[in-house]
């Protein structure tokens, strides 16, 4: 890859996505589910660029959305409405209404109060809402505490007993149509066992519903398959699929997999330019033009991202790679060995395709990066670098009210 040419043509900082890698990840996961009905619903929260969504839609993927904004993105990008699901712990009335009007596949409901809102809004609209209930299986996912979600102390889902009551309520309501069961125990999972146990528990609940003549059609296993940032072990897709097949072997259900990171993380790289080096006598810093507003994972989770210095040679020494923002947490890597770098050298931050650009902000009035796709060896722009005019637009017109 000629990163110098990409930097010259598109500028830095820059997100670069390998669309072929995304397709191979999608095909590997879809392939693992072969022999059973399945829907791979790309979790847009991981990377919601319209061209990325359209790329997955063309491969047959659906979309897992957590806001009406994401539902709009999915529809604009060409995801069929019958492949869109709406998840998330809190949904506004207007979002529920929007989802029902768009007639998406189903809404994942996370609490009794939410079920009542969905029912009331469906009643106003005069048509039943297809729903699935997120069950909290009370299983420790063994991942970073900020992205672990399967225990009762977490805000997500409802316990199994309460879920059963909600299904019975839904079955008896003319405005609710219970069609699925859902769980998601966390993200960046590296062990299969917790997922297997969760699938078994939720399948058990589904079986107990059959006896009540509540016949569900969808078994939503959430997302969470981990990827390699450094040297993490990974979940074998065949074993993953067979754990799920095993849990539901006697049930006729379509598997829905709301997967984000696995599809995009290692397809993405973040390209940034060295501004200068600085040595405080205690520490060597490499100051770059990207910052925590572009990629916040190191600051937020102390996440590791491998960094490569492109074309730099010489004896390596330890350094921190930092951005220009006025916060000590503005770093990409700490105590990593890099050769000497100079003004305009390029650094590549790896595994940046998931929860990268989507978490970016305008902090310090920095423009959000451009994004490009590489497909069949050809690069193309899929998001223009933000302009200062873009940033000021919604304030500028109101400035006169202050002056
Ligand atoms: N379904 C639900 C209900 C979720 O909450 C999530 C992620 C997913 C699916 C997709 O999970 P994935 O396949 O991407 O692991 N910002 C954090 C990750 C937050 C994950 C939130 N939920 C990070 O950068 O590591």
Tell whether the model's pLDDT for residue 381 goes beyond 70. yes
Tell whether the model's pLDDT for residue 155 goes beyond 90. no
Q: What is the pLDDT of residue 377?
A: 97
Write out the two tokens for 278.
């600085």
Is 326 among the residues known to form the active site? yes
Average of per-residue pLDDT across 70-75: 98
Tell whether the model's pLDDT for residue 151 goes beyond 90. no
In the chain, the percentage of residues whose pLDDT exceeds 90 is 94
pLDDT in tens, 83-103: 999 999 999 999 999 999 999
Tell whether the model's pLDDT for residue 201 goes beyond 70. yes
pTM exceeds cut of 0.95? yes
The CATH classification number of 33-259 equals: 3.20.20.10
243 pLDDT tier (thresholds 50, 70, 90) = very high
For residue 201 and ligand 1, the question of a CB distance below 6 A is answered with no
More confident residue, 191 or 157: 191
Tell whether the model's pLDDT for residue 148 goes beyond 80. no
3-14+266-395 topology per CATH: Lyase, Ornithine Decarboxylase; Chain A, domain 1 (2.40.37)
Tell whether the model's pLDDT for residue 286 goes beyond 80. yes
Residue 308 CA to ligand 1 centre (angstroms): 26
Place of tokens 């299969």: 192
pLDDT in tens, 341-366: 999 999 999 999 999 999 999 999 99
Nearest partner of 50 among 367, 382, 354, 385, judged by Cα: 382
CA distances from 285 to 116, 275, 328 (A): 54, 11, 12
Nearest partner of 72 among 102, 42, 106, judged by Cα: 102
- Best of 63, 110, 260, 300 for a ligand 1 pocket test (most atoms within 8 Å of beta carbon): 260
For residue 44 and ligand 1, the question of a CB distance below 6 A is answered with no
**Closest approach atom of ligand 1 to CA 149:** 5
Residues near 130 by Cβ (< 8 Å), separated by ≥ 6? 105, 106, 107, 177, 179
Place of tokens 């589904």: 206
Residue 357 CA to ligand 1 centre (angstroms): 14
Q: What is the pLDDT of residue 157?
A: 87
**Closest approach atom of ligand 1 to CA 108:** 3
More confident residue, 397 or 13: 13
- DSSP string of 210-276, one letter each residue: HTTT----EEE----B---SSS-----HHHHHHHHHHHTTTS--EEEEEE-HHHHGGGEEEEEEEEE
Cβ neighbours, 10 Å, residue 116? 15
For residue 264 and ligand 1, the question of a CB distance below 6 A is answered with no
Lowest mean pLDDT among 33-42, 140-149, 326-335, 364-373: 140-149
With 0-12 / 13-18 / 19 or more C-beta atoms within 10 angstroms meaning exposed / middle / buried, residue 249 is: exposed
Q: How far apart are CA 23 and CA 32, in angstroms?
A: 14
Q: What is the pLDDT of residue 360?
A: 98
Residue 36 CA to ligand 1 centre (angstroms): 24
Q: How far apart are CA 276 and CA 264, in angstroms?
A: 31
List the catalytic residue out of 65, 257, 319, 326: 326
Residue nearest atom 22 in ligand 1 by C-alpha distance: 187
Q: How far apart are CA 138 and CA 153, in angstroms?
A: 9
Tell whether the model's pLDDT for residue 153 goes beyond 90. no
150 pLDDT tier (thresholds 50, 70, 90) = low
For residue 110 and ligand 1, the question of a CB distance below 6 A is answered with no
- Best of 26, 40, 41, 43 for a ligand 1 pocket test (most atoms within 8 Å of beta carbon): 43
Domain positions in the chain are 3-14+266-395, 33-259
Largest CA distance in the chain: 73
pLDDT in tens, 168-182: 999 999 999 999 999
Tell whether the model's pLDDT for residue 49 goes beyond 70. yes
Q: How far apart are CA 70 and CA 87, in angstroms?
A: 11
Asked if 219 and 253 count as a contact pair (C-beta separation under 8 A), the reply is yes
Q: What is the pLDDT of residue 147?
A: 65
Mean pLDDT of the chain: 96
């Amino acid at each position: 890859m000629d990163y110098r040419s990409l930097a010259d043509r598109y500028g830095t900082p820059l997100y670069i996505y390998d669309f072929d890698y995304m397709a191979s990840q999608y095909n590997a996961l879809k392939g693992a589910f072969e022999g059973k009905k399945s829907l791979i619903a790309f979790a847009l929260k991981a990377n919601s660029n319209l061209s990325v969504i359209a790329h997955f839609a063309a491969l047959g993927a659906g979309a897992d959305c957590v806001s009406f904004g994401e539902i709009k993105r999915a529809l604009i990008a060409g995801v069929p409405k019958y492949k869109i699901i709406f998840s998330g712990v809190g949904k506004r009335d207007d979002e529920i209404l929007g989802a029902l009007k768009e007639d998406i596949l189903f809404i994942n409901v996370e609490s009794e109060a939410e079920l009542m809102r969905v029912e009331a809004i469906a009643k106003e609209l005069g048509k039943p809402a297809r729903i699935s209930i997120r069950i909290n299986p009370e299983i420790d996912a063994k991942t970073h505490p900020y992205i672990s979600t399967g225990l009762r102390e977490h805000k997500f889902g409802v316990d199994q007993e309460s879920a059963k009551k909600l299904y019975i309520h839904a079955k008896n309501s003319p405005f609710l149509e219970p069609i699925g069961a859902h769980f998601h125990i966390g993200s960046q999972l590296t062990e299969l066992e917790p997922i297997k146990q969760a699938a078994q528990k939720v399948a058990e609940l589904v079986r107990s519903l059959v006896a009540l003549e509540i016949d569900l059609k969808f078994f939503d296993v959430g997302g969470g398959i981990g990827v390699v940032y450094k040297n993490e072990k990974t979940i074998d897709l065949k074993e993953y699929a067979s754990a799920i097949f095993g849990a539901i072997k006697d049930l006729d259900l379509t598997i829905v997999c709301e997967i984000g990171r696995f599809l995009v993380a290692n397809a993405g790289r973040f390209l940034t330019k060295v501004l200068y080096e600085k040595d405080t006598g205690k520490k060597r810093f490499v100051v770059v033009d990207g910052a925590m507003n572009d990629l916040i994972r190191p600051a937020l989770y102390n996440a590791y991202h491998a960094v490569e210095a492109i074309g730099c040679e010489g004896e390596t020494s330890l350094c921190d790679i930092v951005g220009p923002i006025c916060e000590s947490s503005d770093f990409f890597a700490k105590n990593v060995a890099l050769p000497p770098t100079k003004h305009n050298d390029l650094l590549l931050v790896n595994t940046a395709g998931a929860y990268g650009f989507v978490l970016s902000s305008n902090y310090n009035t920095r423009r959000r990066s451009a994004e490009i796709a590489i497909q069949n060896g050809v690069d193309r722009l899929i998001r223009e670098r933000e302009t200062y005019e873009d940033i000021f637009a919604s304030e500028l017109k109101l400035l006169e009210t202050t002056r």
